[in-house]
Structure 1
Amino acid sequence: MIITTGGKTDEETVLYAYSLADKYNALYVDRSKRSIETLKRHYNQDVVVASRSGTIIHPLSQKEPIHFHPNMAMVRAKRILGGRSDPFIETAGLQSGMHVLDCTMGLASDSLIASLAVGDAGRVTALESNPLLHLAVSEGLKRFHTQHAEIRKAMTRIEALHTPHHEFLQMQKDNSFDIIYFDPMFTETVETSDAMQIIHAQTDKSDLSLDTITEARRVARERIVMKDHWQSSRFHDLGFFQERRPSSLFHYGYINIDLSK
């Protein structure tokens, strides 16, 4: 990938672009009034545009740019802060101080909700195998502006790592995380948000395997949670108890490691 800035920029953003190039081992390129398409054709690489609020990713393989925005997660977060329940928090049994591993970060919607639930005393680690998504979301979590202080703190608490979840799980000690979470790509066709449609080409299409769940059983202390289409066979095939939610296209399922729960 190459790192550049917007058409109009300032010294702070240029310095940020340089720091991104160093951090992600990429080439910094002066914009020089060139269009994104011109840069794509000239360098034949993905183009990352640095801005004060994070980054905008222009993949070589698609026209639509990728950028971080919490979208529906903000709506959920505000509901939670207003005292309302959230099905993910309820199914996972999230509590203050817990350590959570989100194996499929994507746009970090559920990572944000988990971070709100576990608070300052907890920890959320989010894994993303795609380098472009990881860059866009990890930088966005650090720089996204919101007037809601608790949501802002929850974003900055998330540790986003660029790594495949199966390999990461293999390297962890037994009982390393309280909750392990999976949100694999649905095998059924559903209508999704514009943001999800844009990142679809970058998401991991590999199926969730029994080997991965076996590793997760070893690494989890309390519970493994999965979100999937309500008709998905994964719940049965992988050993999850499916919590059915009338009128919802997706359900949560769980595997208890701590049998007292």
Structure 2
Amino acid sequence: MSDRFRDALQAVVTTPWQASAEQEKLAQALAAWFGAPCVARKDRSVQELCAKFAVEVVIVAGEPFKLYHRDADAPLFFHPSMAAQRIARRARGETDRMLRVGGIREGDIVVDATLGMAADAMVLSAAVGQTGRVIGLEQSAYVAQMLRAVQQFGSLTYPEAVQYLAKVDIIQANHSAWLAEQPDDSVDVVYFDPMFRSPNEESAALGPLRLFANRDQLQEEAVAQAKRVARRAVMVKERPSSGVFAKYQLQPDQPRRKIAYGVWRKHHE
């Protein structure tokens, strides 16, 4: 556990109410992984533990392990969301809209600059195959370290999804700063999905992520750096009505739909 994560996290780790020996062991391992104290549950609620130890997050070592934010109604935990179905449909020969619009192919290096819960990154991982690479950038130390923990400890609930997550290089960083450090034309595609377009539009799966993730709007500097770094294309998932596509010279694939993929392609592609 790096000092960077240790400084960023305000958490304790505990077990479920009735803990098994395996869960006790997992709690100790997660405490070491997150650089957080492991505390006895003692029939205390998550809110009581937050107050007792003056932390904002309680990590509960169940299956799957969950992150409870003191201000959230539901916990955050790893799940593939729609990624599993998308990967399965692609294996049957169906076309995935994101992959088609982005022109993603086997062997590509793709940057998912807004990793979140890594659903898109897992689909990208399946598409680029063993010869490709997916780099996932996530600014939240909680989310990045949670996904890395899943890579490290696995998931009995979603073992197949972990196989695709395992191939994602997860980097905890601000995407603008990270992209600014990369050489020109050093990856094939850079992808952005800002996710939090409005509270009324987000899915139930994204609700628990809201308190952990970076909710800033996509910035001009990030897109400019992405255009410099990408060899082929920059892609943004957004509402066509948001004005983002026009602002950044992105061509939406389906401008009449609620959500579209806007693409900028390098002239020499």
Q: Tell me the TM-score normalised to structure 2 length.
A: 0.86
Please state how far the C-alpha of 1:124 moved relative to its aligned partner.
0.9
| RMSD of Structure 2 on Structure 1 (CA) | 2.2
Please state how far the C-alpha of 1:189 moved relative to its aligned partner.
5.9
Change beyond 3 A, Cα 1:136–1:211: same
Q: Secondary structure of 2:242's match?
A: coil
Change beyond 3 A, Cα 1:145–1:93: farther
Please state how far the C-alpha of 1:186 moved relative to its aligned partner.
4.8
**Partner of 1:132 in structure 2?**
142
**Partner of 2:3 in structure 1?**
none
Report if the CA contact (8 A) 2:195-2:202 is conserved: no
Mark the runs of 5 or more structure 2 residues left unpaired by the alignment.
1-10
- Determine if the alignment matches structure 1 residue 71 to structure 2 residue 85: no
> Which residue of 233, 254, 259 corresponds with 2:263?
254
> Which residue of 30, 35, 47 corresponds with 2:45?
35
**Partner of 1:242 in structure 2?**
252
**1:186-225 mapped onto 2 (5 Å cutoff):** 186-187=196-197, 190-225=200-235
- Determine if the alignment matches structure 1 residue 6 to structure 2 residue 16: yes
Aligned equivalents of 1:123, 1:146: Cα separation in 2: 25
CA deviation string 1:90-112 (max 9, x = no partner): 01111111111111111111101
> Which residue of 81, 104, 118 corresponds with 2:91?
81
Mark the runs of 5 or more structure 1 residues left unpaired by the alignment.
none
> Which residue of 37, 50, 63 corresponds with 2:61?
50
Residue 47 of structure 1 aligns with an amino acid whose one-letter code is V
Change beyond 3 A, Cα 1:212–1:236: same
Question: Number of residues paired by the alignment?
Answer: 257
Please state how far the C-alpha of 1:6 moved relative to its aligned partner.
1.7
Report if the CA contact (8 A) 1:66-1:136 is conserved: no
> Which residue of 25, 29, 37 corresponds with 1:19?
29
Aligned equivalents of 1:152, 1:209: Cα separation in 2: 31
Aligned equivalents of 1:201, 1:51: Cα separation in 2: 21
**Partner of 1:144 in structure 2?**
155
Aligned equivalents of 1:13, 1:97: Cα separation in 2: 39
Residue 98 of structure 1 aligns with an amino acid whose one-letter code is D
Q: Tell me the TM-score normalised to structure 1 length.
A: 0.89
Please state how far the C-alpha of 1:117 moved relative to its aligned partner.
0.3
Moved more, 105-114 or 25-34: 25-34
- Determine if the alignment matches structure 1 residue 168 to structure 2 residue 201: no
**Partner of 2:8 in structure 1?**
none
Report if the CA contact (8 A) 2:63-2:156 is conserved: no
Aligned equivalents of 1:14, 1:106: Cα separation in 2: 28
Report if the CA contact (8 A) 2:63-2:157 is conserved: no
Residue 253 of structure 1 aligns with an amino acid whose one-letter code is G
Please state how far the C-alpha of 1:252 moved relative to its aligned partner.
0.2
Task: Work out the percentage of aligned pairs sharing the same amino acid.
Answer: 27
Aligned equivalents of 2:198, 2:19: Cα separation in 1: 43
Please state how far the C-alpha of 1:146 moved relative to its aligned partner.
6.2
Aligned equivalents of 2:24, 2:185: Cα separation in 1: 43
